[in-house]
Structure 1
Amino acid sequence: MSTITVYGATGMVGSEIVTEAVARGYQVTGVTHGNPDHVKNPVAGVSYVTGDITDTGDVVEKAKGTDIIVFSVPGARDGSSVQPIIDAHARIVAAFAGAGVTARIFIVGGAGATQTPDGTLLKDTPDFPAAYKPEAESFAQILDLWRGSAKSLDWTMLAPSPEIAPGAATASYALGDDVAAGGFVTAGTFAKAALDELDTPAHRRARFIVSNA
């Protein structure tokens, strides 16, 4: 049985990823900030543990003990600095290369770093919400960090459509590389696409985008 460790396992996207992973027969560890015994609405079959993406040494140890490691941790959305999440990924990229981590690395990215059909980054368009701009900027930088990482690291980033919201998986979905194929995706569809990629890798060392079909 393959193992998967998910940071941000109790969030909107992370909880859907762990649910989908359990349904597909993975042995799932969910990483959460707080007391793992106090997780609200825990997913049956998931082993919850405490951890933080900023604790690089612990992240490395968890990565060495799993087949797949997922980072579903957004940047700050409350006006505080997004620098900690950028710095966390920078340290992880360097530490994973130095430690010889062989786990598959899956990062939940942001829509702001995707492109419009004319090649403009979504975050740079006039109507992009100002409240989401810092997080979008941070994940553009995080994508660049992984693109510049050691060739030995087996990473993939999946970004959502411009709009993502709670909801069940649709029967089918559409994928894009730099430009989203649609404007909306449910968290359930996102998780379905994520596990499809983990089951059958097609976007190694690349970012791709999912939309509801």
Structure 2
Amino acid sequence: MNIALIGASGFIGSVLLKEAVSRQHQVTAFVSHPEKISATIQVAVQATDVQNLPQLTEQLQGFDAVITAFSGHANEDVVGYYVSGIKNIIQAAKNTNAMRLLVVGGAGSLEVAPGMQVMDQPGFPDAYRASAEGARQALSLLREETSLNWTMLCPSGMIEPGQRTNQFRLGKDQLLIASDGKSHISVEDYALAMINELEQPAHAYQRFTVGY
């Protein structure tokens, strides 16, 4: 497939790029700092600004799918910057009649009990609250869409570098807890689950999650 990958130089985006390339997809990496990625026969690199809707719409023309790992972590207004950016990504995907939009979500909006989300629990780290809120608002925006074929994949409570094991579970709206009592996933297995969904769609118009 010919894939647009927004945020391809980030923590998750860079591993998504590696996984997609390993499975012989053609990827155009859209990043704010193109010098961070080397172009290859399978990877084209373009500078982009997700806050510029006309530019983004023009750049996203002609792809089989758009994957966004866009993040607002580095901005002073994390929530405002992220929500503004994801709105533009959604609109650009609609403007270009993108076949699919796959979105990197967050664990904060997953349920730990009926009506109780991870980020609503006492003790949820303040350092992650803004990004979790941005991802929660992004999910609400996506759920309002009826014409755009979207999917959001949320990681488990902890996502960190590890192994590509292909030994994980998929869930829907509830936080997955492993037999060791932890909620975790390697970024490599997260990327594997995302590209699996790209190749074999099973969660159209849905959020799902992955964990051990």
Mark yes or no: TM-score above 0.5: yes
Q: For 2:138 and 2:199, locate their aligned partners in 1 and report how far apart those are by CA, in whole Å.
A: 24
Where does residue 30 of structure 2 map in the other structure? 31
Q: Does 1:158 align with 2:153?
A: yes
Deviation at 1:56, TM superposition (A): 1.6
Where does residue 104 of structure 1 map in the other structure? 100
Give, as a single letter, the amino acid of the residue that structure 1 aligns with 2:151: T
Q: For 2:189 and 2:79, locate their aligned partners in 1 and report how far apart those are by CA, in whole Å.
A: 27
Q: For 2:131 and 2:160, locate their aligned partners in 1 and report how far apart those are by CA, in whole Å.
A: 17
Deviation at 1:65, TM superposition (A): 2.0
- Secondary structure of the residue aligned to 1:103 is coil
Distance 1:120-1:101 versus aligned 2 partners, 3 A rule: same
**Stretch deviating more after TM superposition (75-84 or 100-109):** 75-84
Q: For 2:14 and 2:41, locate their aligned partners in 1 and report how far apart those are by CA, in whole Å.
A: 11
Identity over aligned residues, as a percent? 32
Where does residue 18 of structure 1 map in the other structure? 17
Deviation at 1:64, TM superposition (A): 2.0
**C-alpha contact 2:62 2:96 (8 A) present in aligned 1:** no
Distance 1:78-1:93 versus aligned 2 partners, 3 A rule: closer
**C-alpha contact 1:60 1:101 (8 A) present in aligned 2:** no
Q: Render the CA deviation track for 1:18-66: whole Å, top value 9, x for unaligned.
A: 11111111111111112x2x22677773211111222222222232221
1:45 to 33, 42, 48: 42
Where does residue 124 of structure 2 map in the other structure? 128
- Secondary structure of the residue aligned to 2:63 is coil
Q: For 1:52 and 1:207, locate their aligned partners in 2 and report how far apart those are by CA, in whole Å.
A: 26
Give TM-score, length-normalised by structure 1: 0.89
Where does residue 56 of structure 1 map in the other structure? 53
Q: For 2:116 and 2:90, locate their aligned partners in 1 and report how far apart those are by CA, in whole Å.
A: 27
**C-alpha contact 1:77 1:135 (8 A) present in aligned 2:** no
Q: Does 1:69 align with 2:66?
A: yes
RMSD: 2.0
Where does residue 209 of structure 1 map in the other structure? 209
Q: For 2:71 and 2:158, locate their aligned partners in 1 and report how far apart those are by CA, in whole Å.
A: 15
Question: Matches of residues 4-15 of structure 1 in structure 2 within 5 Å?
Answer: 4-15=3-14
Distance 1:48-1:94 versus aligned 2 partners, 3 A rule: closer
- Secondary structure of the residue aligned to 1:112 is helix
User: Unaligned 5+ residue runs, structure 2?
Assistant: 178-182
Give TM-score, length-normalised by structure 2: 0.89
Q: Does 1:117 align with 2:113?
A: yes
Give, as a single letter, the amino acid of the residue that structure 2 aligns with 1:174: R
Give, as a single letter, the amino acid of the residue that structure 1 aligns with 2:196: D
Distance 1:95-1:46 versus aligned 2 partners, 3 A rule: closer
Where does residue 181 of structure 1 map in the other structure? 176
2:90 to 88, 93, 113: 93
Q: Render the CA deviation track for 1:56-85: whole Å, top value 9, x for unaligned.
A: 222222322211111101233675342021
Distance 1:137-1:84 versus aligned 2 partners, 3 A rule: same
